[in-house]
Each structure stands twice: as C-alpha cells, then as structure tokens.
Amino acid sequence: MSALSQRDPDVAAIIADERTRQVESLEMIASENYASAAVLEATGSVFTNKYAEGYPGKRYYAGNQHSDRLESLAIDRAKQLFGAEHANVQSTSGAEANMAAYLATVEPGDTIMGLSLDQGGHLTHGSPVNFSGRLYNFVPYSVDRESEVIDMAAVRKLALESKPKVIVAGYTAYPRKIDFAAFAQVAKACGALLMVDMSHIAGLIAGGQHDSPVPHADMITTTTHKTLRGPRGGMILSTAALAEAIDKAVFPGTQGGPHMHSIAGKAVAFAEALQPEFADYARRIVENAKALAEALQAGGLRLVSGGTDNHLLLADCNSVGISGLKAQNALQGAGIITNRNTIPYDERPPYVGSGLRLGTPALTSRDMGPDEMKRVAGWILRVVKDPDGDGVRETVRQEVAEFARAYPVPGITDVKLAV
Ligand code: DSN
C-alpha cells in the first residue's frame, strides 16, 4: 500500500480515478501531454521541500548546494537544446514568464503588439481582463479574414503606425507556421523588441519540425509541459544583452522562491528532448495532425486556414451546425477530450465559441500514428454530426475506451525511460 493511500485514501482515490481517465480517454487538448515516468519522479522529489530564492551561486537561503547543481544543469541543457545565449528556468508558468518578459523590457502604459485572444493569441498577450491588457497599451493584430493566416504586410503597417516597444509572436490556437524572420524585420523597422511565446510549439522547435525563433527574437517565453513533454512550468530564453534584465524580472521582480522540484522535472525533460528519438516524436506529431486534418475535412468539417502545419487544428463547428461548446461536451461524453475555442471573427461569445481545438501531442506520445488518426477522426465526425444522440455517444465511448486501453501511456502504464 502506498504512503498516500495509507495517509489519505480520499486523495489517493481521486488520483487513481484521474489516472484511469487519462488512460481510457483520447486526450486531444493541444496544450496537454503525458510527461515520462522520469519527469514525474523528478517533479515529485524531495526538491519540493527546498527554498532557493536567488540564482546558482547567489542564494538568499543556506543548504542550496544541490539546488545550484540542479538549476545549472537545467540551464545548460535548455541552452543546448535551443541554442540560446541565456536561459532562465524559474518561471512557474507561461503566464508568469510573459509577465517577467514585459517587466524586463517595457514600462506600464507602453505599447505592445500581440495577436488578440479571440484570433488565437493568449490571455497574456493583451486581453483586457488580464494584467497584460490592464497594465500595457496592447495594440492587437489579426489574421486575414479570408485566408485566416497572419498577413505580414498588415502586421508591418500596424507596427509602423503604432510604434510598439515589443511585438509578440507565438499563439495558442494558430495552426500554421510562424515566419519569425519576417517578424524580426518588422520589429527592426519600428524599433521594437521581438518576443516569441513558443509555449505551444517548443517541442516542435526542439525536434526540428518548426523553424527556431532563437536567431530572430530578443526574448522567447515558453511553458515546459506542452509539446515539450516536461513538468508544469515556464522558461525564458533571451539574448545575452537581456539576460540580467530577464533574471531580475523573474526574481525578485515577479516571483519568490523557485519551484526546485519543477526545475528537476524540466532538467529531465530537456535531456529527453535532446535525444534523437525526440526529433522523430516531433515529426510524428505533425504527421498525425495532417492525417487527422485530412480525415476530418473529407468528412465535412471545415478547418480554420484549411489545415495545419503544426500540432493542432481548429475546426469550425458551424460547418456541422453546432457551437464549439456543444461539440466539446458531446465529445467528452464519448471519451474524446478537447476544448472549445473561438475562431477568427467568431460571432459567438468566447464561453461558447464556434471552434474546436484539437491537438495530436498526447496521442502521439501513446505511439498512435496516421491510421489511428483516421479512426479517431471517424469517431469525432460521428459525434459532432449527432451531438444529441445518446446512443451514438455511448457506443463511441465504449469503442474509444477499448481502443485507448491498448496504447501505453508514458508515466502511467508505460514506465520506459526513453522518450
Ligand atoms: N491553457 C493554455 C492552452 O491551452 O493553450 C494556454 O495557457
């Protein structure tokens, strides 16, 4: 019997139920993944107990000789993985990484450009209900109404007019590649810094499937738990010129003690992403997303921008006559876990949304391939075309659970150490 089930059977039972849910469902939320057993072990380690305000070699508490070794290792691996001049691995989330990046480079009231949330951006890219939109003068850019892709000429025009101090590129619901070189040219033309939030695509960049922003951006923020398959957490990469400002903005600017147990998990995840197998994993994520996109489109579901170049697709549920919320809830009843999302120029409010965001990182971690994506697309189409059909939902739920159980889940039913 585990210590947890002896000490607290209530929490142990909830965790066991969540484990079963993760094994029997098809996890298709584009920002979720399965961390390996090694990442989970490091994240649940005794570093949970340690306070380590400061940085390696310069801490405000004693007893940090091993924290120093751990954080230095994580920093070195992050720099090696992305070829960056500087890495700060203390951010506890993507939102806090973004907060620190702004604090390091702009003053309240300054102008920043970012893709608006309803077009595929992020809350921290200037949403009026978020600190970013309240503290800074965000000028939002949009995707083109027809192509639903970012129009760099329009971005350039807006940047020259609004003269931002920072331009943010990198999104949460954008299925296409981002031209970081073009963004860097625009930033240079208007005297702005380029910030890339690569949270969603960090694993694709590490695995060589997406161009790296590192040669083009002044600072790059990311989470570590999405395509990168690490623990919950954030990180900031930057040029050497911004290193000191970034470090000060993280601690003491926006955070106190770093979560050393998460930093342990990050170090392990970076080492896993440096293995040759990780490049193949990243390649398969994209291959699977394309296979899923083709099958869904063939079945009559319209995809924003007509397809995908990365790990996610954004389906327009208007094409099957329902809202994103209705699609999300019907699919959840069938064991397919997704999230509703606005689509560009959506006429529905964000809580309802017309879009359904679908991602392949977690299914790819279970070694599913294009053939499996075609089966998954078939189930999705059956449910979204008959969202009120209890019989359809129940039949699909049983088929999905039986199918899903056959695919090992890293960290849960598959404890192999390699990625
Ligand atoms: N919640 C994340 C996502 O789903 O994209 C962003 O913070």
C-alpha to C-alpha distance for 71 and 66, rounded to whole angstroms: 9
Radius of gyration of the chain (CA): 21
Helices 324-333 and 370-385 cross at an angle (nearest 10°) of: 110
Measured between alpha carbons, how far is 87 from 79 in angstroms, rounded to an integer?
Answer: 6
What is the residue-wise DSSP string for 157-176? Answer: HHHHHH--SEEEE--SS--S
CA 396 distance to own-chain centroid: 28
CB contact at 8 A, 391 and 201: no
What are the extents of the domains in the chain?
Answer: 40-273, 280-405
Q: Is 407 among the catalytic positions? A: no
Active-site entry in 222, 223, 254, 364: 223
From residue 67, alpha-carbon distances to 59, 87, 164, 189 in Å are: 10, 16, 39, 42
Active site residue 163: no
What's the pLDDT at 417? 44
Q: Which atom of ligand 1 is nearest to the CA of 223?
A: 7
Query: What stretch of H or E contains 59?
Result: strand 58-59
Nearest CA to ligand 1 atom 4: 31
Give the model's pLDDT for residue 230: 98
Q: Which residues line ligand 1 (CB under 6 A)?
A: 31, 94, 122, 172
Task: Place domain 280-405 in its CATH homologous superfamily.
Answer: Aspartate Aminotransferase, domain 1 (3.90.1150.10)
Q: In angstroms, what is the span from residue 362 Cα to ligand 1's centroid? A: 14
Give pLDDT < 50 ranges for the chain. Answer: 417-419
Can you give the pLDDT at residue 419? 41
Separation in Å, CA 375 to CA 222, 291, 399 = 32, 10, 10
From the CB of residue 145, how many other CB atoms can be counted at a distance below 10 Å?
9
Q: Quick one: DSSP state of residue 151? A: -
Residue of 343, 356, 350 lying closest to 129 (CA atoms):
350
Using CA atoms, how far apart are residues 94 and 262, in angstroms rounded to an integer? Answer: 13
Instruction: Check if 51 is active-site.
Output: yes
d(C-alpha 404, C-alpha 271), whole Å: 28
In 25-120, alpha helices (H): 37-43, 65-82, 94-105
Give the nearest ligand 1 atom to 124 CA: 7
Q: Does domain 40-273 have CATH number 3.40.640.10?
A: yes
From 27, 148, 197, 272, the catalytic residue: 197
